[in-house]
């Protein structure tokens, strides 16, 4: 029997929005630059259709790098004694929002390690303050795994979105990337809880994480297909010198771009960032991510003084810059590829009530 070509598989994904696991494995193991270009062109067409030439921006405030967890890949894991720990006060976080608002941000992403000094009550109060000061803004949280009641309290306070990458959809692979205390089952429960509470929910994985195989990536794509997240955070794995994975190779830039395109084709209206990790692995990585079908950029809105301390991986970009620098640098970068920054909240829109304003 004749083997299906990669181009045919990409077209099938376009029409049926799904592939079998075997087809995914085949596509992800044997693709050429030409296949990648075809996928990117197809994905870019879909993005243009849904979002025009506009890219949504989210200001990310990395408010604490204390973490109770010990993820093997992450530079702010608890057992990294070289991480200089910091926490922002609620007032400092509010100040970042105010600065961001001035330069056009209408989504604030609050991200941190799993720092228990920020209880659900405190986060809820903080979200209320942000919402009261900036009622036209969306608040996204990315604080890791919490219990249902805690997520509920944050949602109640007005948080709109939550990012929690699933990291890998294979339980055995999950166990190789995380300490024994963490479990794949709990991660999945968190994602279900978030969705059921009405958060616009983001999942995602690192590309080229240690021990990752094409089968794992195929399982990730099948998981994303069935979970239908509103957002997908996906960037290359990059080693951090003070982690057990210090000597592991980086993820593949090309594979990351290819998967961004395939996510766009599979889930046409998903909010898909060209990540900071993608901009770190290549100087033009984020531009290429947008041209491969991504439609979101998340520039840093943290105080410059702490940026270098939120090092998830080595050589992270933009750690010397001020927020306004990042904002305008991005504007120029987007302009250089024919895109504009949208200063709207940029909520997820399902197919029925899509708004092309």
Q: Select from 85-93, 117-125, 231-239, 297-305 the region that touches ligand SAH (CB under 6 A).
A: 231-239
Is residue 250 within 8 Å of 238, Cβ to Cβ? Answer: yes
Residues 13-72 that bind ligand SAH (CB under 6 A): none
For the bound state, the minimum distance from the C-beta of residue 304 to ligand SAH, rounded and expressed in Å, comes to 20
Residue 169 binds to ligand SAH (criterion: CB under 6 A): no
For the bound state, the minimum distance from the C-beta of residue 75 to ligand SAH, rounded and expressed in Å, comes to 6
Residue 74 binds to ligand SAH (criterion: CB under 6 A): yes
Residue 296 binds to ligand SAH (criterion: CB under 6 A): no
Single out the residue of 285, 284, 281, 288 nearest to residue 316, CA to CA.
Answer: 281
Residue 190 binds to ligand SAH (criterion: CB under 6 A): no
For the bound state, the minimum distance from the C-beta of residue 165 to ligand SAH, rounded and expressed in Å, comes to 4
For the bound state, the minimum distance from the C-beta of residue 6 to ligand SAH, rounded and expressed in Å, comes to 27
Q: Select from 40-48, 102-110, 236-244, 300-308 the region that touches ligand SAH (CB under 6 A).
A: 236-244
Candidate residues 144, 289, 293, 303; the one interacting with ligand SAH per rule CB under 6 A:
144
Candidate residues 42, 64, 80, 111; the one interacting with ligand SAH per rule CB under 6 A:
111
Nearer to ligand SAH, 140 or 342 (CB): 140
Nearer to ligand SAH, 106 or 240 (CB): 240
For the bound state, the minimum distance from the C-beta of residue 275 to ligand SAH, rounded and expressed in Å, comes to 8
For the bound state, the minimum distance from the C-beta of residue 206 to ligand SAH, rounded and expressed in Å, comes to 5
For the bound state, the minimum distance from the C-beta of residue 71 to ligand SAH, rounded and expressed in Å, comes to 7
Task: State the residues that interact with ligand SAH by CB under 6 A.
Answer: 73-74, 111, 113-114, 142, 144, 164-165, 167, 206, 235, 237-238, 240, 277, 312-313
């Amino acid at each position: 029997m004749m083997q299906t070509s990669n181009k045919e598989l990409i077209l099938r994904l376009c029409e049926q929005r799904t592939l079998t696991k075997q087809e995914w494995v085949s596509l992800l193991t044997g693709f050429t630059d030409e296949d990648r270009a075809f996928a990117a062109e197809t994905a870019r067409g879909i993005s243009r259709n849904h979002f025009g030439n506009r890219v949504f921006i989210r200001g990310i405030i990395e408010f604490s790098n204390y973490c109770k967890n010990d993820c093997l890949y992450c530079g702010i894991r608890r057992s990294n004694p070289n991480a200089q720990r910091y926490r922002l006060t609620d007032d400092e976080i509010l100040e970042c929002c105010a600065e961001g608002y001035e330069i056009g941000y209408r989504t604030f992403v609050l991200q941190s390690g799993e720092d228990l000094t920020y209880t659900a009550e405190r986060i809820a109060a903080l979200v209320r303050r942000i919402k009261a000061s900036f009622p036209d803004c969306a608040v996204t949280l990315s604080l890791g795994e919490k219990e249902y009641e805690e997520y509920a309290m944050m949602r109640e306070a007005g948080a709109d979105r939550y990012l929690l990458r699933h990291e890998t959809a294979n339980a055995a692979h999950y166990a190789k990337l995380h300490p024994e205390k963490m479990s794949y089952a709990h991660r999945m429960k968190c994602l279900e809880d978030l969705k059921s509470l009405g958060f616009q929910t983001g999942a995602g994985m690192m590309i080229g994480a240690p021990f990752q195989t094409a089968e794992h990536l195929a399982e990730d794509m099948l998981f994303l297909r069935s979970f239908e997240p509103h957002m997908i955070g996906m960037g290359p794995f990059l080693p951090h010198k003070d982690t057990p994975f210090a000597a592991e190779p980086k993820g593949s830039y090309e594979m990351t771009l290819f998967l961004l395109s395939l996510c766009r084709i599979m889930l046409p209206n998903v909010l898909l960032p060209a990540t900071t990790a993608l901009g770190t692995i290549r100087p033009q990585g984020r531009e290429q991510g947008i041209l491969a079908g991504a439609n979101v950029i998340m520039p840093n809105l943290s105080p410059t003084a702490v940026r270098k301390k939120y090092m998830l991986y080595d050589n992270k970009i933009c750690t010397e810059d001020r927020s306004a620098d990042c904002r305008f640098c991005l504007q120029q970068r987007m302009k250089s590829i024919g895109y504009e920054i949208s200063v709207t909240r940029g909520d997820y829109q399902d197919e029925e009530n899509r708004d092309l304003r």
